[in-house]
Amino acid sequence: MENVELSRTKIHEQAMICIFQYLFYETQKEITNKKKIEEIISDVMEVSFDECDVFFRAIIFETIKNRKEYIEIIESKLNKWTFDRLCLTDQAILLLFTSQLLNNRAPIQVCIDVAVDLAHRYCDDKSYKYINKVLDRIGKENA
């Protein structure tokens, strides 16, 4: 991907992909040479890490740095489920947009709309419903 100005929606999509890949590598116990997040970002964006959008890098690092806190918050909103039972794509979307909501990066409804759109494109048919519900609960609690 050439270094062009990306829309916030496209930045969120690429960030979700990076977070997904990070979570994937984190779950692979047998892989000894795991990619660092900077490598993942460079691979996804197809430019050097330093050339990537500052907002893009910030939302990824913020999400990964605080993921344990975000997982606790997400799990408190899941009914009869644990975060670990969710597929990695659902996890990546929920982590990214929980971070966005808690750090007031965008209005609640905008975060939810973008997350649901990503869920429609990348997740199974029912995922968008509980992603919507969980993020709505988090947004209302932190408004």
Render pLDDT for 9-62 as a digit per residue (tens, 0 to 9): 899 999 999 999 999 998 887 777 778 899 999 999 999 888 988 889 999 999
What element of type H or E holds 91? helix 88-102
pTM here is 0.92
CA distances from 126 to 13, 42, 110, 120 (A): 19, 31, 20, 9
Q: Look up residue 13 and give its amino acid.
A: E
Render pLDDT for 80-131 as a digit per residue (tens, 0 to 9): 889 999 999 999 999 999 999 999 888 999 999 999 999 999 999 889 999 9
